[in-house]
Structure 1
Amino acid sequence: METYYIKEHVLSANVRTVIKDTQDKPVYILVGRWGVKGDVLSVYSMEGDVLATVKQTTYAFPSHFDLYDKRQKVGSLGRLFSFNRDMYLVKQLNWLVLANVGKQSYRIYSLKERMMLMNKHTSFQGDYYKLSIINKDVSPICICIGAVMDYWAKNNEKNWQTVNTFLNPKPSYQSIELIRKD
């Protein structure tokens, strides 16, 4: 089992992100950006080799992402449905991703085997995501999926804030004065 740590506030941000192991040594670098169809996020080794890439193929709801392992397409990630917990499917790999966005907890399963567990982790250095991945071979792909999950969680949070502001606007000073006059 491999364990990695990624700073929470930079996982799905448009900046370079260093992924460290349990000894606080840099293992991977996550580079790319989100927001527009065709945007790409890539996991690099410390030597500069591209290990995995995730590419956004659609921007409209529901968003879809293609996953590449060393520049070869290995699957497509898309949302199955959302009820109490979100469920995603990685086609071609036959992986199922279960997401509990409220608790920021994500799990990836392949048939009956858990491939990755990603949870929020707080230390004296700040807030991190802790990724426990079954083996090093699938680590870059799992990191890409984790970045997509964080991206979707942050986008859903922004969308709900916009909807709540629209449905429950804060009363303004002028509206209170109008109520007093009536």
Structure 2
Amino acid sequence: MKQEYVSRQEKILVKNELGKDLYLISGKWGRIGDKLSLYSIDGDLLVEVKQIVLSLFPKFDIYTQGKKIGSITKHRGLKDVYFKVTPLNWIVTGDFYNHNYTVNCKGKLIMEMTKAYTSFGDYYALHIPESQHAPLCLCIALIVDNLTLTRLPQTEKKRVNRAIQLI
């Protein structure tokens, strides 16, 4: 998923490590009521994320099959920020500015995201042990990335060039 498409909020194709198209993401965020939609490559709507609070600590509601399954919220801890996905009890922590973080549930790894550098460009490498979590994890990665990038100085934003790749 190329950063230039994310920042322009264009349609994004998500590929696996072999280059096979897996998902299509469309939508926009930044205003209350905006939504992000993730589709299977066959065109089935898998996840929708709608922004319902616009502030320093925004909130997004998560829907699958038209039914609300939870919310993603940003929080401030003693040292750093973190994100909660409720009621799934998922906690997103790590070094968000360097794109190295994890999603855990009661000590169990849900997703690990790291930045990978290749001759074709910079990518996000997502390790998701249970494939059924992939659609929701992709949405979390987009939201966290967007909220992190909106807090970077303009000179840093221009230098960021990345994509998402599932492992």
**TM-score, with normalisation over the residues of structure 1?**
0.78
Read off the aligned partner of 1:30 and give its amino acid letter.
Answer: I
Q: Which range moves more in the overlay, 127-136 or 25-34?
A: 127-136
Q: 2:7 and 2:52 mapped to 1: Cα distance?
A: 17
In the alignment of these two chains, the number of paired residues is 156
**Paired residue for 1:138?**
133
- Contact 2:22/2:40 (<8 A) preserved: yes
Q: Which range moves more in the overlay, 39-48 or 84-93?
A: 84-93
**Paired residue for 1:49?**
44
Q: 1:10 and 1:85 mapped to 2: Cα distance?
A: 28
Give CA deviations for 1:123-147 in whole Å, capped at 9, x if unaligned: 1111111111122211101110000
**Paired residue for 2:115?**
120
Q: 2:5 and 2:14 mapped to 1: Cα distance?
A: 11
**Paired residue for 2:57?**
62
Matches within 5 A, 1:55-94: 55-94=50-89
- Contact 1:85/1:101 (<8 A) preserved: no
Give CA deviations for 1:139-181 in whole Å, capped at 9, x if unaligned: 101110000000101111148x9xxxxxxxxxxxxxxxxxxxx
Secondary structure of 2:150 counterpart: helix
**Paired residue for 1:147?**
142
Rg larger in structure: 1
Q: Which range moves more in the overlay, 44-53 or 98-107?
A: 98-107
Secondary structure of 1:128 counterpart: strand
Give the C-alpha shift of residue 9 in structure 1: 3.8
Q: Which residues of structure 2 form unaligned runs of 5+? A: 157-167
Q: Does 1:15 align with 2:13?
A: no
**TM-score, with normalisation over the residues of structure 2?**
0.85
Call closer, same or farther: CA 1:30–1:148 in 2, change over 3 Å: same
Give the C-alpha shift of residue 13 in structure 1: 4.1
Read off the aligned partner of 2:81 and give its amino acid letter.
Answer: D
RMSD: 2.0
Runs of 4+ in 1 over 6 A off after TM superposition: none
Q: Which residues of structure 1 form unaligned runs of 5+? A: 1-5, 162-182
The percent identity for this pair of structures is: 30
